[in-house]
């Protein structure tokens, strides 16, 4: 309706590459990955070869030095096909962002080239069994003993938890009681003694995504592993790119909703009931028309936010509004589309059923939508 | 209301013009609007005053007495009239602009010279007669007929829901001039008030928009010269009505969006000032969350309307994108107003409060300019 003007020729080529990779290398095996609750490391390496992992990492550190539209495209395409196993690419890219923005030279040299290549897989450990969006309630503690930090605590809902070679751990290093100043981000290598991982957690959807708990028991890392080398910066480091991260979720939501709409258009045109295609009933057409309108309107807002993001002008509140509205929309669209599929919509053989399972987390992850309302509420 | 992402459409001149409109509304309109609602009309002096200030038809070319301004000026006044709650002006001036557009695009030089300068200065008020007692969105079912008799058309039929009907000096009548049974039967003909056989009803009693004079029109063998036909030949009416549909729909959306923003603004103010159980209403989480949801939706609507406007300025706005805007913002305005009225409690039910008037004034948004259902049909065709 209103053409997207965000992308240039290179972006469209990149999108084609991403689509081809997903169609040829991922989707034929995805069901197996869902059973395994894991994506093979070879797929990460293949994605790395194609430049799909950390497009914005500078060339000096093994990346492509591209703009964030490329990252947006990967998220959109992964969500379109509900390749839940690759949702972890987004988390991996967020960790690359932490390193790019705040890492010491040694940290960057050590991790970024491997991450871009897909030979090192990254996770971030924020949530704890007793703490979700309220970061200042984190209990995991890192205590300086000599030249090492000794870490104790538990983390949960860790995407890439099984596969990860490094995990950025949100831990308390201070005792001021002033919350944010006590928090640091510490890089923990996957093979450190004292780190153990749970079996993959059983989830509503995203079955191919390896999501685990992590346990830290007197785990020692050198103090150089603190992100950026200075303690007490964690809160700020986590916040810096939140607007972008949430916008990514909004963009994925719109892409997912659009894909579901397309599946449903095709299905309702092909399926006959009471002597005519489902599509030819007015109720169907009106419902689909409403979805099309909402998706178009949401896409327009996401793209405007993205244009601001590229200029570093996107505010956390504008992004929170995008995340809130677009992930809610995806839920509404997918629910209506399951309905229009009838019984088939309940069968996982149909893409719409997989979207139904996979999408639900988007209203929770990246800051629950209730938190988004708090953020937008502050601007009232 | 502070926007979450900045608007980029307007220049400093547009903003000056906005301040002019705001001053006019605050000083000369809003203090008297309740009285006009009782009288079911906006006084003609206000039309003339708006004309004098250039706040009526900014986009008409200078050769016809206008200012030749770009459509952002029309957007500015649309936002201000509808957002301020001056619904008598918002709808009436909007219809007036529509009629001026038809005359500008299809009128003969004579028709343009006769009407446009007067319409720009508010001396002549325009209206358009489409709907009939038995025909709404389905234009081809129009029954009003114009039969040629020598150099004259003889018009017979009834029209209803005519905005500016009571006060209008000219009405563009949608009527049938042919009998082929197709869209080619439809023509637009200008009828001046005072013609023999042309009568108007009392203002219709409506849910809202009380200052807007809306009435029925009756044509009983009304004779007008053939030169009153809009366009060079008969049978072009349907195309003429369609040509600027994208702009007409986005004009509607501009007003609806402004109403939604106004409702939120009033409600933020109200909930900050009103205390219940020992704290301001806005300090309850439910209030904040509801208002935050509305603010997010409003922002998303704002982005769409402004994007449509950018396209409209380049003549690239499609009727479908505009239909989306019309439909989406109509629904938005109703949702927002409904929630905001609730947050006002009992006061929200009192028409002393702007939110109550918005509640009454917005309900038609989902109906006119193409009903919700017609908009959905239009979008559904693009699926």
Q: What are phi and psi of A159, to 5 degrees?
A: -70, 145
User: What distance in Å separates the CA atoms of residue A112 and residue B3, rounded to the nearest whole number?
Assistant: 38
Closest Cα in chain A, distance from residue B277 (Å): 20
**CB A232 within 8 Å of CB A182:** yes
- Cβ-Cβ contacts under 8 Å between A and B: the total is 108
- Cβ–Cβ gap B308/A318 under 8 Å: no
Which is nearest to B248 in space by CA: B62, B94, B18, B33? B94
- Cβ–Cβ gap A380/B291 under 8 Å: yes
N-terminal to C-terminal alpha carbon distance within chain B:
35
Residue B167 has pLDDT above 80, yes or no: yes
Residue B255 has pLDDT above 90, yes or no: yes
Fold for the domain defined by B239-380:
Butyryl-CoA Dehydrogenase, subunit A; domain 3 (1.20.140)
Residue of A nearest to B300 (CA): A301
Closest Cα in chain A, distance from residue B182 (Å): 25
Write the class of the CATH domain B12-125: mainly alpha
Q: What does the pLDDT read at residue B244?
A: 84
**Residues of chain A neighbouring B260 (CB-CB closer than 8 A):** none
Arithmetic mean of pLDDT, B261-280: 96
Closest Cα in chain A, distance from residue B105 (Å): 26
**CB B71 within 8 Å of CB B316:** no
**Which is the CATH superfamily of the domain at B127-235?**
Butyryl-CoA Dehydrogenase, subunit A, domain 2 (2.40.110.10)
Q: Smallest Cβ distance to A324: which of B282, B296, B311?
A: B296
Residue B267 has pLDDT above 90, yes or no: yes
- Cβ–Cβ gap A301/B282 under 8 Å: no
| A294–B contact, CB cutoff 8 A | yes
User: What does pLDDT average to over chain A?
Assistant: 96
Q: List, in order, residues 6 or more apart from A21 with CB less than 8 Å away.
A: A46, A47, A50, A52
User: What distance in Å separates the CA atoms of residue B126 and residue B129, rounded to the nearest whole number?
Assistant: 10
Residue A134 pLDDT class (50, 70, 90 cuts): confident
Q: Where are the domains of chain B?
A: 12-125, 127-235, 239-380
Arithmetic mean of pLDDT, B330-345: 97
Residue B136 has pLDDT above 80, yes or no: no
| A317–B contact, CB cutoff 8 A | yes
Q: What six digits make up the tokens of B14?
A: 């547009």
**CB B64 within 8 Å of CB B9:** no
Q: What six digits make up the tokens of A312?
A: 């570093």
Residue B243 pLDDT class (50, 70, 90 cuts): confident
Which is nearest to B81 in space by CA: B149, B18, B8, B31? B18
Angle at B223 between CA B221 and CA B226, to 5 degrees: 135
- Cβ–Cβ gap A297/B289 under 8 Å: no
User: What distance in Å separates the CA atoms of residue B254 and residue B361, rounded to the nearest whole number?
Assistant: 15
| A315–B contact, CB cutoff 8 A | yes
Q: Smallest Cβ distance to A296: which of B289, B324, B373?
A: B324
Tokens 């990254």, located at residue:
A122
- Cβ–Cβ gap B300/A324 under 8 Å: no
Cα dihedral value B281, B286, B290, B291, nearest 10:
30
User: What distance in Å separates the CA atoms of residue B129 and residue B174, rounded to the nearest whole number?
Assistant: 6
Burial B8-19 (b: 16+ CB within 10 A, else e): eebeeeeeebbe
For B294, how many CA atoms within 13 A lie in the half-sphere containing its CB?
A: 31
Q: Kindly report, residue by residue over B42-51, the tens digit of the pLDDT.
A: 999 999 999 9
Closest Cα in chain B, distance from residue A373 (Å): 5
Q: Smallest Cβ distance to A321: which of B296, B304, B321?
A: B296
Neighbours of B345 (CB within 10 A): 13
Residue B213 has pLDDT above 90, yes or no: yes
Q: Smallest Cβ distance to B4: which of A286, A294, A318?
A: A318
Closest Cα in chain A, distance from residue B291 (Å): 7
**Residues of chain B neighbouring A379 (CB-CB closer than 8 A):** 2, 4, 295
β-pair type (A272-273, A276-277): antiparallel
User: What distance in Å separates the CA atoms of residue B292 and residue B295, rounded to the nearest whole number?
Assistant: 5
User: What distance in Å separates the CA atoms of residue B309 and residue B325, rounded to the nearest whole number?
Assistant: 10
Residue B141 has pLDDT above 90, yes or no: no
Angle at A344 between CA A341 and CA A346, to 5 degrees: 95
- Cβ–Cβ gap B307/A2 under 8 Å: yes
User: What distance in Å separates the CA atoms of residue B373 and residue B368, rounded to the nearest whole number?
Assistant: 11
Angle at A348 between CA A342 and CA A353, to 5 degrees: 55
Q: What does the pLDDT read at residue B198?
A: 98
Closest Cα in chain B, distance from residue A371 (Å): 9
Residue B309 has pLDDT above 90, yes or no: yes
Neighbours of B350 (CB within 10 A): 11
- Cβ–Cβ gap B4/A376 under 8 Å: yes
Sign, CA dihedral A64-A68-A69-A72, equals positive
Q: List, in order, residues 6 or more apart from B180 with CB less than 8 Å away.
A: none
Q: List, in order, residues 6 or more apart from A202 with CB less than 8 Å away.
A: none
User: What distance in Å separates the CA atoms of residue A96 and residue A102, rounded to the nearest whole number?
Assistant: 10
DSSP codes, B186-225:
EEEEEEETT-TTEEE-PPPP-SS-TTS-EEEEEEEEEEEE
Give the best residue of A280, A285, A289, A317 to mutate against chain B (max B CB count within 10 A). Answer: A289
Which positions 289-348 of B are in contact with A (Cβ < 8 Å)?
289, 291-293, 295-297, 299-301, 303-304, 307-308, 311, 318, 320-321, 324, 327-328
Q: Smallest Cβ distance to A293: which of B291, B318, B328?
A: B328
- Cβ–Cβ gap B318/A318 under 8 Å: no
Q: What does the pLDDT read at residue A311?
A: 96
Helix H or strand E segment including A309: helix A282-310
Q: What does the pLDDT read at residue B369?
A: 85
β-pair type (B170-176, B126-129): parallel
User: What distance in Å separates the CA atoms of residue B66 and residue B57, rounded to the nearest whole number?
Assistant: 7
Q: What does the pLDDT read at residue B134?
A: 86
Q: What does the pLDDT read at residue A281?
A: 95
**CB A170 within 8 Å of CB A234:** yes
Residue B202 has pLDDT above 80, yes or no: yes
Q: How far, in whole angstroms, is CA B114 from its chain's centroid?
A: 23
Residue A135 pLDDT class (50, 70, 90 cuts): confident
Q: What does the pLDDT read at residue A136?
A: 80
User: Under DSSP, is residue A378 helix (H, G, I), strand (E, B) or coil?
Assistant: coil
Arithmetic mean of pLDDT, A101-127: 97
| A2–B contact, CB cutoff 8 A | yes
- Cβ–Cβ gap A297/B324 under 8 Å: yes
Residue of B nearest to A294 (CA): B328
DSSP codes, B112-142:
HHHHHHHHHTTSS-EEEE--BTTBSS-GGG-
List the catalytic residue out of A34, A128, A241, A245: A245
Arithmetic mean of pLDDT, A307-332: 97
**Residues of chain A neighbouring B4 (CB-CB closer than 8 A):** 315, 317-318, 321, 376, 379
- Cβ–Cβ gap A300/B289 under 8 Å: no
Q: Smallest Cβ distance to A289: which of B300, B321, B379?
A: B379
Q: List, in order, residues 6 or more apart from A65 with CB less than 8 Å away.
A: A56, A57, A58, A59
Is B248 a known active-site residue?
yes
Closest Cα in chain B, distance from residue A5 (Å): 11
Q: What does the pLDDT read at residue A131?
A: 83
> Where are the alpha helices (H) located in chain B, listed in sequence order?
12-24, 30-39, 44-52, 71-83, 87-106, 109-120, 237-243, 245-273, 285-313, 319-343, 354-362, 372-380
Q: Kindly report, residue by residue over B100-135, the tens digit of the pLDDT.
A: 999 999 999 999 999 999 999 999 999 999 999 988
- Cβ–Cβ gap B299/A321 under 8 Å: yes
Q: Smallest Cβ distance to A300: which of B2, B282, B304?
A: B304
Q: Smallest Cβ distance to B383: which of A289, A308, A318?
A: A289
Neighbours of A135 (CB within 10 A): 18
Closest Cα in chain B, distance from residue A33 (Å): 34
Give the best residue of B303, B323, B339, B370 to mutate against chain A (max A CB count within 10 A). Answer: B303
């Amino acid at each position: 309706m209103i053409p997207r003007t965000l992308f240039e020729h290179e972006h469209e080529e990149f999108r084609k590459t991403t689509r081809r990779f997903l169609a040829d290398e991922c989707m034929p095996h995805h069901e197996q990955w869902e059973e395994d609750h894991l994506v093979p490391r070879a797929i990460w390496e293949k994605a790395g070869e194609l430049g799909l992992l950390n497009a914005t990492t500078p060339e000096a550190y093994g990346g492509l030095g591209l703009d964030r539209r490329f990252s947006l495209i990967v998220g959109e395409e992964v969500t379109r096909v509900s390749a839940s196993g690759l949702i972890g690419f987004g988390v991996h890219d967020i960790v690359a962002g932490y390193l790019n923005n705040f890492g010491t030279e040694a940290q960057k040299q050590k991790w970024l080239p491997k991450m871009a290549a897909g030979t090192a897989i990254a996770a971030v450990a924020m949530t704890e069994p007793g703490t979700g969006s309220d970061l200042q309630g984190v209990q995991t503690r890192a205590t300086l003993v000599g030249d090492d930090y000794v870490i104790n605590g538990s983390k949960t809902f860790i995407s890439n938890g099984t596969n990860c070679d490094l995990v950025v751990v949100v831990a308390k290093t201070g005792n001021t009681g002033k919350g944010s100043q006590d928090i640091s981000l510490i890089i923990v290598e996957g093979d450190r003694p004292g780190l153990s991982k749970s079996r993959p957690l059983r989830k509503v959807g995203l079955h191919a995504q390896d999501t685990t708990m992590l346990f830290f028991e007197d785990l020692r890392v050198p103090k150089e592993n603190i992100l950026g080398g200075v303690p007490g910066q964690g809160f700020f480091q986590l916040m810096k790119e939140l607007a972008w991260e949430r916008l990514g979720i909004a963009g994925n939501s719109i892409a997912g909703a659009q894909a579901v709409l397309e599946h449903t258009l095709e299905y309702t045109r092909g399926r006959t009931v009471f002597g005519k295609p489902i599509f030819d009933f007015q109720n169907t057409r009106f419902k689909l028309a409403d979805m099309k309108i909402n998706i178009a309107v949401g896409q327009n807002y996401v793209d405007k936010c993205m244009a601001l993001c590229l200029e570093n002008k996107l505010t956390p509140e504008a992004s929170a509004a995008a995340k809130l509205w677009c992930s809610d929309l995806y839920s509404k669209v997918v629910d209506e589309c399951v309905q229009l599929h009838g019984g088939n919509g309940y069968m996982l053989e149909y893409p719409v059923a997989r979207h139904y399972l996979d999408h639900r987390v988007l209203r929770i992850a990246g800051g629950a939508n209730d938190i988004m309302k708090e953020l937008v509420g502050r601007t009232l | 209301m502070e926007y979450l992402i900045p608007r980029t459409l307007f220049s400093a001149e547009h903003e000056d013009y906005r301040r002019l409109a705001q001053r006019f509304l605050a000083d000369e309109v809003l203090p008297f609007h309740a009285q006009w609602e009782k009288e079911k009309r906006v006084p003609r002096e206000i039309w003339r005053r708006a004309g004098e200030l250039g706040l009526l038809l900014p986009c008409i070319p200078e050769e016809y007495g206008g200012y030749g301004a770009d459509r952002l000026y029309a957007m500015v006044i649309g936002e201000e009239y509808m957002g301020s709650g001056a619904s008598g002006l918002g709808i009436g001036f909007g219809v007036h602009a529509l009629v001026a557009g038809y005359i500008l695009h299809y009128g003969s030089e004579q028709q343009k010279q006769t009407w446009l300068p007067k319409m720009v200065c508010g001396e002549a008020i325009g209206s358009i007669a489409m709907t009939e007692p038995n025909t709404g969105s389905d234009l081809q079912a129009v029954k009003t007929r114009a039969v040629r008799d020598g150099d004259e058309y003889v018009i017979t039929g009834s029209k209803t829901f005519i905005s500016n009907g009571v006060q209008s000096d000219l009405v563009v009548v949608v009527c049938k001039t042919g009998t082929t049974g197709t869209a080619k039967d439809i023509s637009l003909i200008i009828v001046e008030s005072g013609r023999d056989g042309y009568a108007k009803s009392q203002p219709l009693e409506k849910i809202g928009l009380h200052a807007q004079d809306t009435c029925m029109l009756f044509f009983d063998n009304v004779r007008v010269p053939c030169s009153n036909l809009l366009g060079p030949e008969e049978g072009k009416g349907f195309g003429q009505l369609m040509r600027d549909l994208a702009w007409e729909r986005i004009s509607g959306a501009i007003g609806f969006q402004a109403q939604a923003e106004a409702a939120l603004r009033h409600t933020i103010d109200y909930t900050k000032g009103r205390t219940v159980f020992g704290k301001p209403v806005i300090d309850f989480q439910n209030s904040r969350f509801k208002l935050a949801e509305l603010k997010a939706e409003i922002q998303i609507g704002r982005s769409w309307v402004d994007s449509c406007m950018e396209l409209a300025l380049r003549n690239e706005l499609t009727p479908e994108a505009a239909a989306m805007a019309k439909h989406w913002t109509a629904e938005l305005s109703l949702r927002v107003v409904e929630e905001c009225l609730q947050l006002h409690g009992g006061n929200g039910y009192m028409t002393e409060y702007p939110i109550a008037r918005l509640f009454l004034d917005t309900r038609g948004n989902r109906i006119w300019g193409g009903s919700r259902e017609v908009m959905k049909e239009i979008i559904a065709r693009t699926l």
